[in-house]
Structure 1
Amino acid sequence: MSRVTVRRRVRRLTIGGRTARRDDLLAGEEPLEIRVGGRSYAVTMRTPGHDVELATGFLVSEGVVTAGDQVAGARWCAGSPGLPGVGENTYNVLDVALAAGVRPPDPTLAREFFTSSACGLCGKASIDAVRTRGAFTVADDPVRVDAATLAALPGRLRAAQDVFARTGGLHAAGLFDVATGEALVVREDVGRHNAVDKVVGWAAAAGMLPLRGTVLVVSGRASFELTQKAVMAGVPVLAAVSAPSSLAAELADEAGLTLVGFVRDPSLVVYAGGHRVVEDEDAAAGDERAGDAA
């Protein structure tokens, strides 16, 4: 069975000090082949766990499904040539069955080689294929989020990263309710795009798509792909601990998504959709007066 963490004997050195041998925990990383209707569609490197959510969220981001009930089920299969464990069930091959009437994905867009845990777009035919026209519109979501609440969310995300606390080697994504600032779900993975797919897959299974009135928080940077995944799931606000890419900011503008980076309490940087980020009126007025005086 796949493992979330792996124990390994290591040697810890302190320059000018002692050397010690001890057991250390590493974040698990194994391949997952996603099949749709028996046909191989993608292979990604991921941390095992919540794999059905990962596959469902991935299909949402690809535009294959737009709701959890469009996935009829999923089953584990034996390995296939080129993957470990050929001929036996290694829990690294998942076959997803689509509901009746749901069109299967275009086989020409299948990712027919390994993608690393850091690369979610590898294998796409072109950037135009990635700009999938989503089923949901985020531009008209009237949600507003308090800047102080937004700045505090990465800390809440970090507090929920149980496996990161033990290994120090995982990305995380969390879905938060704007009204309360409470976490709806948090998922961890060696791949930041996988962590987001797991969150979106969870939401799809719960019948929550589109994810209006929510903030998606990611533990690293905001890439084009993560922005695209947020748009495809109907998320109006994406907040990242680190910087966004230029293409991510352009896509956020196009889609009407609020994109916030460098969210590190007590500050943040708004890159797109700033109308949704609400400041304390007194503090904002003071800043404006100070700027005018300068």
Structure 2
Amino acid sequence: MGRVTERRRVIRIRDGAVSTRPDTLVAEEPLEIRLGGKPLAITMRTPGDDFALAAGFLVSEGVLASAGELANIVYCAGATGEGGSNSYNVVDVRLADGVPVPDITLERNVYTTSSCGLCGKASLDAVRTTARWPLDTSPDTPVRIEPATLSALPDRLRAAQRVFERTGGLHAAALFTTDGELLDIREDVGRHNAVDKIVGRALQQGQLPLSSCVLMVSGRASFELVQKAVMAGIPVLAAVSAPSSLAVDLAVETGLTLVGFLRGTSMNVYAGEHRLALSAAASTG
């Protein structure tokens, strides 16, 4: 397995003084995901939780929805072609008997980067995969969360980021209860990979749909992250930065509660405000 961090020599300049020192960097390596032996996607990721990442990716693609649909995930031996050595950078996902294997590689080029996530999807229709668990959009939904609880999540997320403290170069995704209890956290150079690792671990543990949870991400809220939340049955997505216009459109369309610019006691609610315990006197103007 590749290491989560690596050491590199740097020249440090501070107030005109020059010195050399080792620096700790987050590792970034490619991971090829195969489905039934057939190449499906390549993503740049931080090594670790690779099986969960692959499983979570397939949840967002609508291929998997439960642990029973997954036979196994293995590293492909000899992936480097150098004397049969294993790079641990190629995984093969096998579906359980009777689970259809979609031919999604013929419809679009599936390539991901650590910065932007899935790229090359042919159209909006191609990424609007039908959700297995439509979100409850009723105003009487039992999922309710206090704004004060949301306000505490960024600090709890940062406090749990172990690798970030050593490198300063990782995104994180965390799963919380509506009372603010931390359930799981994953780190990666790609925010989309961190979410896939969260969702994939939940699938492996038979916890989908995550219908009573809040997903908190360390960066912006893209269309893809909204899609991943919806496909996992997560009703609330909160981000410390801005959402995109397409992310807001999808959140409104699916009934997801989308919160952005979550910093201190301030936040913007872009969709699904019915899940927030807001004061009756709150302005709607």
TM-score, shorter chain, exceeding 0.5: yes
TM-score range, shorter chain: over 0.9
Q: What is aligned with 1:49?
A: 48
Pick closer, same or farther for the CA change 1:113–1:244 going to 2, 3 Å.
closer
Pick closer, same or farther for the CA change 1:84–1:278 going to 2, 3 Å.
farther
The partner residue of 1:98 within 91, 95, 104 is 95
Q: What is aligned with 1:126?
A: 123
Are the counterparts in 2 of residues 43 and 111 from structure 1 also a CA contact under 8 Å? no
Q: What is aligned with 2:68?
A: 69
Cα drift, residue 207 of structure 1: 1.1
- For residues 171 and 90 of structure 1, the distance between their equivalents in structure 2, rounded to whole angstroms, comes to 24
Equivalent position SS for 1:156: helix
Cα drift, residue 107 of structure 1: 4.1
Are the counterparts in 2 of residues 109 and 125 from structure 1 also a CA contact under 8 Å? no
Residue 237 of structure 2 is aligned to residue 243 of structure 1: no
- For residues 128 and 81 of structure 2, the distance between their equivalents in structure 1, rounded to whole angstroms, comes to 33
- For residues 68 and 41 of structure 1, the distance between their equivalents in structure 2, rounded to whole angstroms, comes to 20
Q: What is aligned with 2:160?
A: 160
- The residue identity in structure 2 corresponding to 1:259 is L
Q: What is aligned with 2:260?
A: 261
Give unmatched runs, 5+ long, in structure 2. none
Pick closer, same or farther for the CA change 1:34–1:273 going to 2, 3 Å.
same
**Matched residues, number:** 282
- For residues 111 and 175 of structure 1, the distance between their equivalents in structure 2, rounded to whole angstroms, comes to 30
Pick closer, same or farther for the CA change 1:277–1:267 going to 2, 3 Å.
same
Are the counterparts in 2 of residues 41 and 111 from structure 1 also a CA contact under 8 Å? no
Cα drift, residue 89 of structure 1: 0.5
Cα drift, residue 267 of structure 1: 1.1
1:60-109: per-residue Cα shift (whole Å, max 9, x none)? 000001112211111111355xx786842010001111111111121435
Cα drift, residue 113 of structure 1: 6.4
Q: What is aligned with 2:212?
A: 213
Larger CA deviation: 132-141 vs 199-208: 132-141
Are the counterparts in 2 of residues 41 and 110 from structure 1 also a CA contact under 8 Å? no
Tell me the C-alpha RMSD between the 2 structures.
2.0
Residue 124 of structure 2 is aligned to residue 136 of structure 1: no
Pick closer, same or farther for the CA change 1:113–1:208 going to 2, 3 Å.
closer
Larger CA deviation: 137-146 vs 54-63: 137-146
Pick closer, same or farther for the CA change 1:120–1:197 going to 2, 3 Å.
same
Equivalent position SS for 1:78: coil
- For residues 171 and 164 of structure 1, the distance between their equivalents in structure 2, rounded to whole angstroms, comes to 8
Are the counterparts in 2 of residues 79 and 92 from structure 1 also a CA contact under 8 Å? no
Are the counterparts in 1 of residues 40 and 110 from structure 2 also a CA contact under 8 Å? no
Give unmatched runs, 5+ long, in structure 1. none
1:26-66: per-residue Cα shift (whole Å, max 9, x none)? 00000000111111111100000000110000000000011
Cα drift, residue 120 of structure 1: 2.0
Cα drift, residue 265 of structure 1: 1.4
- For residues 78 and 245 of structure 2, the distance between their equivalents in structure 1, rounded to whole angstroms, comes to 39
Q: What is aligned with 2:7?
A: 7
Pick closer, same or farther for the CA change 1:113–1:143 going to 2, 3 Å.
closer
Larger CA deviation: 237-246 vs 131-140: 131-140
Equivalent position SS for 1:59: helix
- For residues 94 and 221 of structure 1, the distance between their equivalents in structure 2, rounded to whole angstroms, comes to 28
Are the counterparts in 1 of residues 109 and 121 from structure 2 also a CA contact under 8 Å? no
Equivalent position SS for 1:145: coil
1:156-214: per-residue Cα shift (whole Å, max 9, x none)? 01111000010000000001011x31111000000010000000001111211111111
TM-score by length of 1: 0.90
- For residues 111 and 167 of structure 1, the distance between their equivalents in structure 2, rounded to whole angstroms, comes to 35
Q: What is aligned with 2:277?
A: 278
Pairing of 1:18-37 with structure 2 (within 5 A): 18-37=17-36
- For residues 206 and 111 of structure 1, the distance between their equivalents in structure 2, rounded to whole angstroms, comes to 30
Are the counterparts in 2 of residues 218 and 241 from structure 1 also a CA contact under 8 Å? yes
